[in-house]
Structure 1
Amino acid sequence: MRAVRFHAARDIRVEDVAPPSDNLGPDDVLVEPLCAGICGTDLHEYIAGPIVTPATPHVYTGATNPQILGHEFSGRVQKVGAEVSHVKVGDRISVQPLMFPSDDYYGKRGLFHLSPKMACVGLSWAWGGMAEQAVIKGYNAQSIPDRLTDEQAAMIEPAAVAMYGVDRGRVTAGSTVLVSGAGPIGALTVLAARAAGAAVVIVSEPNANRRRIISEIAPYVVTVDPKNEDLIEVVRDLTEEGVGVDVALECVGQETSLNACIDAVRRQGTVVQVGLHIRRASIDAMQWALKDITLEATWCYPVQVWPRIARLIASGNFPVEKVITARIDASDVVALGFEALLDPAGNELKILVRT
């Protein structure tokens, strides 16, 4: 079968590999992936990997590179193990890709995403969504409403990252919100904040193409070019008595972005780290104290969020499909996928791949 596999930095190949055996374990599900998104994590692997993909056998799954990519995907069930009863052959599903033990400290508390042994379909498991078939565990197969499209179902995974940040920020009806960064997760965070009831949403983004795209996706936002405009002045103009936003969501993973969020939030406001910081950040801890702020850090998402997000999308209140800017065939995944997303002058935000 055809599969997109990561071998090393700048070495992603479309290859013919043996399909999975249909001799399933009791809690296994064989699926036909329908479409899969290219994630920022995939891009990091392409640029500088292996980072998350396993160069040595993964502690929980035993997987090693080369790795079939694709952890944001929808699929159709082809076969189920003897103990799987919540989905059946022919069902369309969204794949919740995190894999974990249920009997360690975190698993026993339902905090599966925090297990130090956590793995991920498409990153540290034998199979991934950028292939013609994949085997997942029963708990990875999440039922979806009939009215969700294949593309919307594939977008639930990145939407879960965004919604978790919004939840941790306690965004509610009438909140004023700053989103720093309008990449795929930043754009989804804007939509999630609006779905949660945010009344004012400001987006700080230096890339003109991304400012244009987010304005088209969410015409209610106020966009700011932080290189040529005074972000804090804009925030003051748009918040009561100029105090600052209630919640600032950092979706870039850079020191300057984090500190801009600290500057923009009001006293006793909340700053949420959504973007992953791969370098140490220099911060002014005294400013944090003087403003009496809350800083929330996030990692992945609680896996129980899938049905809630599916309902929000189905209701029309969380239009995740608007973030998709291109659909490509797996044969073009490097040139029209990874390289297109890395082009600073490019027009792509979220690209879906079909095998």
Structure 2
Amino acid sequence: MKAARFHARRDVRVEEVAPPPDDLGPHEVLVRNRLCGICGTDLHEYAHGPIFVPQSPHPFSGAQLPQILGHEFGGVVVAVGSDVRDTSPGDRVAIQPHMAPPDDYYVRRGLTQLSEQLAIVGLSAAWGGFADYAVVNDYNAVPIPDGVTDEQAALIEPAAVALHAVERGGVRPGDSVLVVGAGPIGQLQVMAARAAGATLIFLADINDSRLVLARTILGDIHTVNPLREDLLEILRDLTVGHIGVDVAFECVGQGRALGSCIAAVRPQGVVVQVGLHVGPAEIDAYAITRKDIDLRGSWCYSTLMWPRVAAIFASGIMQPELMVTKRVTLDEIVQDGFEALLDPAGDQLKILVEAGV
């Protein structure tokens, strides 16, 4: 079968690999992949990796380089192992990609992302979404309702990231929110904050193309380019009491963006760090203390969120498919996918890869 495999930095190859085995394990599910999103984590891996891709056998999954990438995907069940009960051949599923030992302290609490033995389908497991097929555990293949499209199935994973961050931030009805970073996660963060009841939302980015897209996709929000506008002055002018926003989300993974969030929240506000930093960040620790604010990390999501996110999509409360700017084939994934998204002058936001369709 065909798969896109990460070998080294700037070295992703679309190549023929061994097909799935005929005999599945008792709790395994064979999925014919449909659509898979290119995530910012995939881009980090391609441009700077290996980061999450293991160079020696992973302690739980045993996976190592080369790695089939792709962890935002869905598909159709082809076959199931003898002890699989929740899915059947023909079911449409979205893949919850986290794996860890079932007796792990955090796994038992639905917090697999916190396990020290965490493995991720498409990053540190034998299979991934950028391929014709994937073999996953039964708990990774979550059935989705008919009201969820194939595009939406591929967007449940990144939406879960944003919804988890909203929970970490404690967003309440009527809150004011700042999102720094207008990439896919940032725009999903706006959607998630609005779903939680936020009514005054600011989105900041230095990429004007993404801000234009955001106004088209997200509607009634305030977009700010901090290279040309005074972000703090705008926030203080428009927020109640002129004291800043209730919650700020850093969705870039950059020290200056985090500093802007700390400066932007009101006293006793909350800053949620969503973006992945590739190095240490300098912050104004005095401002954190003086303003009596909370600085919280937000790492992935609970594995229990998949049915909730699917229900939100089916209801129309969030429409993540509006972010999709292009589809590419597996053969086009490097040049028209990774490179297009890494282009600082590019106009792409979210690209989906047609894998086993």
TM-score, scaled to structure 2: 0.98
Greater than 6 Å deviation, 4+ residue runs: none
Map 1:26-175 onto structure 2 (within 5 A).
26-175=26-175
3-state SS of paired residue (1:326): strand
What's the CA shift for 1:82? 1.1
Q: Which residue matches 2:307?
A: 307
Q: Which residue matches 2:267?
A: 267
**What is the identity, as a one-letter code, of the residue corresponding to 1:89?**
P
Q: Which residue matches 1:183?
A: 183
Question: Is 1:248 aligned to residue 248 of structure 2?
Answer: yes
Cα distance per residue 1:132-163 (max 9 Å; x no partner): 11100000011111011101011000111111
**What is the identity, as a one-letter code, of the residue corresponding to 2:329?**
D
TM-score, scaled to structure 1: 0.99
Is 1:45–1:51's contact at 8 Å kept on the other side of the alignment? yes
What's the CA shift for 1:108? 3.5
Q: Distance in 2 between matches of 1:172 and 1:208?
A: 29
Q: Distance in 2 between matches of 1:276 and 1:87?
A: 34
Question: Is 1:18 aligned to residue 21 of structure 2?
Answer: no
Q: Which residue matches 2:199?
A: 199
Q: Which residue matches 1:214?
A: 214
3-state SS of paired residue (1:46): helix
Q: Distance in 2 between matches of 1:108 and 1:318?
A: 29
3-state SS of paired residue (1:73): strand
Is 1:22–1:30's contact at 8 Å kept on the other side of the alignment? no
What's the CA shift for 1:22? 2.2
Q: Distance in 1 between matches of 2:254 and 2:343?
A: 19
Is 1:102–1:112's contact at 8 Å kept on the other side of the alignment? no
**What is the identity, as a one-letter code, of the residue corresponding to 2:112?**
F
Q: Distance in 1 between matches of 2:58 and 2:168?
A: 30
Q: Distance in 2 between matches of 1:172 and 1:309?
A: 18
Q: Which residue matches 1:343?
A: 343
Q: Distance in 1 between matches of 2:138 and 2:223?
A: 42
Is 1:252–1:276's contact at 8 Å kept on the other side of the alignment? yes
**What is the identity, as a one-letter code, of the residue corresponding to 1:250?**
E
What's the CA shift for 1:313? 0.6
Q: Distance in 1 between matches of 2:259 and 2:201?
A: 18
Cα distance per residue 1:8-52 (max 9 Å; x no partner): 111111111110102011110000001101111111111121111
**What is the identity, as a one-letter code, of the residue corresponding to 1:118?**
L
Q: Distance in 2 between matches of 1:261 and 1:269?
A: 10
Q: Distance in 2 between matches of 1:107 and 1:179?
A: 30
What's the CA shift for 1:106? 2.0
What's the CA shift for 1:110? 3.2
Q: Distance in 1 between matches of 2:110 and 2:9?
A: 35
**What is the identity, as a one-letter code, of the residue corresponding to 2:233?**
E
What's the CA shift for 1:112? 1.4
Question: Is 1:288 aligned to residue 288 of structure 2?
Answer: yes
Q: How many residues align?
A: 355
How well do the aligned residues superpose, as a CA RMSD in angstroms?
A: 0.9
What's the CA shift for 1:64? 1.1
Q: Distance in 2 between matches of 1:250 and 1:45?
A: 20
What's the CA shift for 1:111? 2.1
3-state SS of paired residue (2:268): strand
Q: Which residue matches 2:319?
A: 319
Q: Distance in 2 between matches of 1:278 and 1:62?
A: 25
Q: Distance in 2 between matches of 1:152 and 1:172?
A: 25
Q: Distance in 1 between matches of 2:43 and 2:286?
A: 35
Question: Is 1:332 aligned to residue 328 of structure 2?
Answer: no
Identity %: 56
What's the CA shift for 1:109? 3.4
What residue ranges of structure 2 are gaps of 5+ in the alignment?
A: none
